[in-house]
């Protein structure tokens, strides 16, 4: 049972790593000796660095000038929404990894709580997966709108 719990956490870690994309840098983290905790802590740090970097880029982005071209304005708004959606995804992933790390730490402190911790983690994992699916759905819709707006802009300019 403990090996299954660790395996489930590692699967979450790998899933989060694949979804989050590249990082701009990492910091060393203090590990408790448990490789799963070390990996979770490292990934949490990476996501935090990514979130901070994205927030900084968003705040430093020049304001969008009012456009007379509604399609160009729509494309700029879609780009901003894409950044915000990416920020939401990274925050969700980081929060879930923090929860998983906390569950593992609690299990180390009191192994008798493992069944309850596992059940709590499984429930949270289902909620997490549902939230990620919603973000993926939103991203697909956003990409479709972006493609349509780009095509409209280009076709209008080529006429």
User: What does the pLDDT look like over 123-153, one tens digit per residue?
Assistant: 999 999 999 999 999 999 999 999 999 999 9
Q: Is the pLDDT of residue 114 over 70?
A: yes
Q: What is the pTM of this model?
A: 0.72
* Predicted local confidence at residue 32, as pLDDT: 56
Q: Kind and range of the H or E element at 2?
A: helix 2-20
User: What does the pLDDT look like over 33-68, one tens digit per residue?
Assistant: 789 999 999 999 999 999 999 888 888 877 777 778
Spatial contact of 71 and 152, defined as CB atoms under 8 Å apart? yes
* Predicted local confidence at residue 8, as pLDDT: 42
């Amino acid at each position: 049972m403990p090996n299954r719990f660790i395996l489930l956490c590692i699967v979450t870690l790998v899933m989060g790593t694949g979804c989050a994309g590249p990082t701009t840098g990492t910091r060393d983290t203090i590990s408790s000796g448990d490789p799963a905790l070390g990996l979770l802590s490292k990934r949490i740090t990476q996501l935090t660095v990514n979130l901070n970097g994205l927030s900084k880029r968003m705040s430093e982005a020049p304001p969008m000038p009012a456009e007379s071209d509604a399609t160009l304005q729509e494309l700029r708004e879609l780009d901003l929404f894409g950044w915000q959606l990416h920020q939401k995804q990274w925050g969700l992933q980081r929060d879930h990894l923090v929860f998983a790390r906390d569950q593992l730490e609690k299990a180390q402190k009191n192994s008798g709580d493992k069944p309850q911790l596992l059940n709590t983690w499984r429930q949270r994992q289902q909620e997490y997966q549902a939230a990620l699916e919603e973000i993926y759905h939103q991203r697909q819709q956003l990409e479709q709108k972006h493609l349509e707006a780009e095509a409209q802009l280009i076709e209008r300019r080529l006429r």
